[in-house]
Structure formats: C-alpha cells, structure tokens
Amino acid sequence: MALVQGIHLLAHGNKVEARRISLDIQQHQRLYIGIGSVYGSGAYAWYSSSLPVHLQAWPQVVFEIDDSRIVPVRKRDGTGLGFFRIPGPAGSYVRIHVLTFANLW
C-alpha cells in the first residue's frame, strides 16, 4: 500500500461555492461524484506534482488516498495525463484523507 497525494479542484473555481463544499469535505472526509465525466464515473484529482499553472489559483482540497483505489487517466498510447479518477457511481461519495485546503479566500 502506498499513499498518493491528490488535488481536487473545487466548484469550477467559484470561491464562495468552494467554501460551502469544503465544510462537507472536511467534516466527512469525502468527495462527491458528479455526472458527465469523460473518462468514467468517479471523483477526479490531479497528482500534486502535475497541477497545471493556470489552475493553481483555483480553490482546492489536497488529500491522500491509497494508490489501490485510484485509476490513472492516460492517453490511448499509455501516456499519463497528470490526473486520476477515484471510481464510483454518480451521485455517491468516495472517501479521502484531507490534508489541507487552498485558495478558498
């Protein structure tokens, strides 16, 4: 078992909504799985070393998760895209271990 550190961007950059969402994430140590994902149903997160510069100011939760619970997102040729999916059905939650929040204010 190895832990992976991920960064989940909150509320598409909306800081007011992100602050509201962060309360639930902190209290319950979970991420909500939305609908309409391109690479399969699940909660998506960037590897902490791969967050693109243009997204670094967005509100975010930094967390850890066991690597056995994630699915790396890759191109057809196997090249990693810098983010991963925590699988689960839309409308449910996946458990994480919150480390910190950033850019909520």
pLDDT at 96 (0 to 100): 98
Sign of the four-CA dihedral 41, 37, 26, 48: positive
Domain boundaries, the chain: 3-102
| Closest to 62 measured CA to CA, from 92, 94, 22 | 22
* Beta bridge mates, 85: 44, 71
pLDDT at 39 (0 to 100): 85
What is the pTM (predicted TM-score) of this model?
0.93
Q: What is the mean pLDDT of residues 6-28?
A: 97
Q: Which residues contact 10 (CB under 8 A, 6 or more apart)?
A: 17, 18, 21, 22, 58, 59, 60, 61, 104
Give the model confidence (pLDDT) of 20-41 as tens digits: 999 999 999 999 998 877 888 9
Cα 23 to the center of its chain, rounded Å: 15
CA distance 39 to 28: 26
Give the model confidence (pLDDT) of 47-97 as tens digits: 999 999 999 999 999 999 999 999 999 999 999 999 999 999 999 999 999
